Amino acid sequence: MQSRRAIASPGPLGQNDRRRQCGVPGVIELDRVAYSYGGGELFSDLSLALGPGTFHFLTGPSGAGKTTLLKLCYAELRPTAGQVRLFGEEVRAMDRDRVALARRRIGVVHQDCQFLDHLPLKENVALPLTVSGRGGAEDEDLAALLSWVGLSRQAEQLPPELSGGERQRAALARAIILSPDVILADEPTGNIDWEMSQRLLALLVELNRMGKAVLVATHDLQLIRAAKAQVQARVLRLKDRRLVAAGADL
C-alpha cells in the first residue's frame, strides 16, 4: 500500500499534522446548543466536544437532525441558542473570512457530496487546495490520493458521470486533502459496498491515529461494530431532541 503512505505521511498534504496534533483544546465544541428551522426545535440543550484524536459515531432515525448537527459543526448553520466554538472561537463572533479559514481545518464529506459539476473529478478533489491559494496539488500526491480511494481511472470524469459510491469516495478524498484537524462524514458509506466501506473506515481510523478528530454520522451498525474493533469510538444517538450515549449492544 504505497499510495496509502503518501497520504498519511507528512508530505505536501500533511505537513502541518505534527504542529496541529498537540495543543488544540476542544477542536469543535457545542455547548447547550438548540436549533430549529423555524418550526419546532430539532434539538435543544445539546452539548458535544470533539477533542483531538477522538472518534465519534452519530446515529439516530432519519430526520432526527444528524445532518443539521454536522452543519452546526462547520458553521453552515448558526445555533438558535447556546454556543458553537470552532478551534476555541465562538461561531457567532466569526466573520465570513474566519469561517472560511476554520473550514479549511475541517474536512467534510457531505451527504449530497457538493461537487462542481463542470470540473473533472481530480480538480474537484483538489478544490480546497485551489481556493486556499496553494495552487493545484502536486500531481503525484493527487494521483496517490485518487488511487487510494480507487478512483484513478475516473480522474478526468465529471461528477455527474460518476456512480453514487464513486462520488462518496471522491468526497472523502476532497475532505482530507488539506490534512484537516477534524473530519466530519455524513453517511460516507451510504452507497458503497462492504469492501470499499472497510477501506474507507481504515482510512478514517488511520487519520484518527494521526490525532485528527473524526465524527461519522451513519445508520450502518455493521460499520460501527467493525470500527469499534479498531479504535476507541464513542457512539452517540440523536433521539427525542437529545444526544445520548448508545447502548452497550453497539
Partner 1 sequence: MSVAGRVGDLVKGDPHADRVVPPTGFTARLTVFTSAAMAFLAVFALALSMATGRLADRWAEELARSSTLRISAPEGQVAAQTAAALRVLETTPGIASARALPVEETRALLEPWFGPDLPVEALPIPQLIEVVETGEGYDATGLRARLQAEVPGAVLDDHTRWRDPLVDAASRLRTLGLTALLLIAGATAAMITLAAQAALAANDQVIRVLRLVGAKDSYIARAFVRRFTMRALAGAAAGTVLGMAAIWLLPDADPAGGFLTGLGFRGAGWLWPLLIPLLAALVAFAATRFAALRSLGERS
Ligand X SMILES: Nc1ncnc2c1ncn2[C@@H]1O[C@H](COP(=O)(O)OP(=O)(O)OP(=O)(O)O)[C@@H](O)[C@H]1O
Q: Which residues bind partner 1 (CB under 8 A)?
A: 74, 76, 96-97, 100-101, 103-104, 108, 110, 114-116, 118-119, 123, 126-128, 130-133, 135-136, 174, 178
Q: How far apart are CA 215 and CA 109, in angstroms?
A: 10
Tell me if residue 162 falls in helix, strand or coil.
coil
* Torsion region of 113: left, alpha or beta (phi above 0 gives left; psi -120 to 50 gives alpha): left
Closest separation between CB of residue 186 and partner 1, Å? Answer: 12
Give all strands of the β-sheet with 234-239 in edge-to-edge order: 106-109, 182-186, 213-217, 55-59, 234-239, 242-245
**Residue 65 near which of partner 1, ligand X, Mg ion, none (CB within 5-8 Å, type-dependent):** ligand X
Considering the complex, state which of residue 21 and residue 111 has its C-beta at the smaller distance from Mg ion: 111
How far apart, in whole angstroms, are the C-alpha atoms of residue 42 and residue 67?
11
CB of 157 to ligand X, least distance (A): 26
Given the C-alpha cell 488544540, which residue does it identify?
24
In the complex, what is the shortest distance from the CB of residue 137 to partner 1, in angstroms, rounded to a whole number?
Answer: 10
Task: Compute the least distance from the CB of residue 34 to ligand X, in Å.
Answer: 13
- Closer of 10 and 164 to ligand X (Cβ): 164
**Residues at the contact surface with ligand X, assessed by CB under 6 A:** 37, 42, 60, 62-68, 111
